[in-house]
Amino acid sequence: MREDVEFRTEDGVTLRGWHYSPDGIDGPAPLVVMAHGFSAVKEHLLDDFAQHFAAGGLGVLVYDNRNLGASDGSPRGEIDPWQQVRDYRTAITWAGTQPWADPDRIGVWGSSYSGGHALVVAALDRRVKCVVSQVPLVSGLQNARRLIRADAFAGLRAAFDADRAARYAGSEPAMIQVAYEKDPAEMAALPTEDTHDFFFGPVQDRAPSWRNEVTLRSVEMFVEYEPGAYIADISPTPLMMVVAAKDHLTVADLTLEYYERAKQPKELLVLPVGHFDAYVDDAFAVSAPAQLRWFRTHLG
């Protein structure tokens, strides 16, 4: 069963999402806390994972990140990775006060940008007893250098500086598209064809609250974010990492390099697909049961 829920952060922002009750359990249950990646909202296929986990006996809390989707917060489209990490930890705190969650059996799940957050939260917060990080960002700077041509990177940094000066003078934050809409030459935060195909494909009708814009400083914060630096500190919390072998958005070879830095207990699942394929079809059919098994093993 799914119900709408909302909770307030320490700075007074209301975050909204869903709670999935686990099949076959009446009372406090193990819980997985989930949020989505860069600009995405919960309707971007997180409900499929949540339903699968709930059918397997896990409670699930899924919510929209602040400034996005159904959640409050301003400026709209602002994506601050460290604020999102803090909100994950607030979600854990709030869930632990609810009658349907066992506060001693909480896991975290993240994918893409939030896959990086899951690594950080698991390293910093020992209330987390298990973590799944799917196609995660592990290094903002190294990843940005893969996505942005070297001759364009200086121009991007100049745009960051100009936006900072304009904000200091009282202007609103500059905005940038998440994905190009028609022409690959359009400036976009995630300038890949598969990003366009995901957000403007069939899933678009499932997520009407999504907006194809974020603040430019969200991209600046992306470049400065290094969640993989925390990966060796996750142990002894069990870590499963799911990597898409053909991923060129959060590039697979870089993710695999960082996985080697993680300590036991850990498990790696490599899917022979691209970044967004990890959410659907054959990859989902392989990955979701493996993730459920991991959570059930370590959350009891």
Strand segments (E) across 245-282 = 266-271
Domain ranges of the chain: 2-139+226-299
- The pLDDT of 167-185, averaged and rounded, is 96
Confidence check: pLDDT of 274 > 90:
yes
Average predicted confidence (pLDDT) for the chain = 97
Mutual angle of helices 81-95 and 216-224, in 10-degree steps = 80
Q: Tell me: the pLDDT tens digits for 78-96?
A: 999 999 999 999 999 999 9
* Nearest-5° Cα angle at 285, 41 to 288: 55
- The pLDDT of 257-275, averaged and rounded, is 98
- The pLDDT of 132-144, averaged and rounded, is 97
pTM for the whole structure: 0.97
Q: Tell me: the pLDDT tens digits for 209-248?
A: 999 999 999 999 999 999 999 999 999 999 999 999 999 9
What top-level class would CATH report for the domain 2-139+226-299?
alpha beta
Q: Tell me: the pLDDT tens digits for 18-37?
A: 999 998 888 899 999 999 99
Distant-in-sequence, close-in-space partners of 4: CB < 8 Å, separation ≥ 6: 16, 17, 18
- The pLDDT of 38-42, averaged and rounded, is 98
CB atoms within 10 A of CB 78: 19
What token pair was written down for 234?
A: 């996750």
Helices and strands, counts by H and E, the chain: 9, 10
Bridge partners (DSSP) of residue 32 are 60, 107
Distance of alpha carbon 102 from alpha carbon 130, whole angstroms? 14
